[in-house]
């Protein structure tokens, strides 16, 4: 099925919950309300005509006015794909987890939590995954400032080229 047709079906079924459908190639996507996320995801997985059996990619983007969580869905059975987005406030972004719909979401949601600070309600293991447990802030936020040191280890170093110049 064409991605456009999938979005049309979603609009018929979940009319008010679809905020925006962007059909400009190369990136087609639909923005949905966070409250309707679980219903839409369950429908997309269980409807035999859509049958999205795989969450192939889940990631977050820090737009300056909001944080986006992007879901790349894919159907191995019917060989089609669709991209969904939810937009969340930057102060305390939270969205329900889709871990029980697609198992692969478990680690990808942990990564988004770690790097962008989005909390996934109902997630079974909401811990940092890549950064140390006590790292301050969320590195992929646009306003993140790297701390000068971490446990006494400096995070900056003098350029080795400048150091060579000084020796002369």
Partner 1 sequence: MSTLRTEEMTLNMGPQHPSTHGVLRFVIRADGEVMREAIPDVGYLHRSIEKIAEKVGYHGFMPYTDRVDYVCAMFTNQGWGMACERLANIEVPRRGEYCRVIAAEFNRLASHLLTVGLMGMDIGAMTPFLHALREREMINDLIEELCGARLTFNYMRIGGVAWDLPPGWREKAVAYLDHLDPIITEFNALFSYNKICVQRLANVAPISAEEAVNYNLVGPNLRASGVKWDVRRDMPYSVYPEFDFNIPTGSGEWGTVGDSMDRYMMRIREMTESSKILRQALAQIPDGPVLAKVVRNFKPPVGECQVRVESARGDQGWYVVSDGTANPWRVHVRTGSFAAMGMIQKLSRGLMIADLVVLIASLDVIAPEIDR
Contacting positions for partner 1 (CB under 8 A): 24, 26-27, 29, 53-57, 59, 61-62, 70, 72, 76, 79, 83, 102-104, 106-108, 111, 115, 128-132, 139-140
User: In the complex with partner 1, which residue's Cβ is closer, 15 or 48?
Assistant: 48
- CA angle, corner 30, sides to 7 and 124, nearest 5? 110
Phi, psi of 17 (to 5 degrees): -85, -5
User: In the complex with partner 1, which residue's Cβ is closer, 142 or 168?
Assistant: 142
CA distance 77 to 54: 10
User: In the complex with partner 1, which residue's Cβ is closer, 37 or 115?
Assistant: 115
Shortest distance in whole angstroms from residue 40 CB to partner 1: 18
User: In the complex with partner 1, which residue's Cβ is closer, 16 or 145?
Assistant: 145
User: In the complex with partner 1, which residue's Cβ is closer, 15 or 26?
Assistant: 26
Shortest distance in whole angstroms from residue 107 CB to partner 1: 4
Shortest distance in whole angstroms from residue 168 CB to partner 1: 29
CA distance 53 to 46: 8
Shortest distance in whole angstroms from residue 30 CB to partner 1: 13
| Residues contacting residue 143 through CB under 8 Å, at least 6 positions apart | none
| Residues contacting residue 10 through CB under 8 Å, at least 6 positions apart | 18, 30, 32, 40, 43, 44
CA distance 87 to 22: 14
Shortest distance in whole angstroms from residue 29 CB to partner 1: 8
């Amino acid at each position: 099925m064409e991605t456009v047709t999938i979005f049309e079906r979603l609009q018929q079924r979940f009319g008010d919950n679809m905020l925006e459908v962007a059909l400009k190639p190369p990136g087609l996507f639909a923005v949905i309300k966070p409250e309707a996320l679980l219903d839409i995801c369950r429908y997309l997985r269980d409807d035999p005509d859509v049958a999205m059996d795989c969450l192939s990619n889940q990631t977050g983007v820090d737009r300056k006015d909001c944080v986006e969580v992007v879901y790349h869905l894919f159907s191995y059975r019917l060989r089609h794909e669709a991209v969904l987005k939810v937009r969340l406030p930057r102060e305390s972004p939270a969205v329900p987890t889709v871990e029980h719909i697609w198992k692969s979401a478990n680690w990808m949601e942990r990564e988004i939590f770690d790097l962008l600070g989005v909390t996934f309600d109902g997630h079974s293991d909401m811990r940092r995954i890549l950064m140390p447990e006590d790292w301050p802030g969320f590195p992929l936020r646009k306003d993140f400032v790297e701390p000068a040191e971490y446990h006494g280890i400096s995070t900056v170093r003098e350029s080795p080229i400048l150091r060579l110049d000084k020796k002369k």
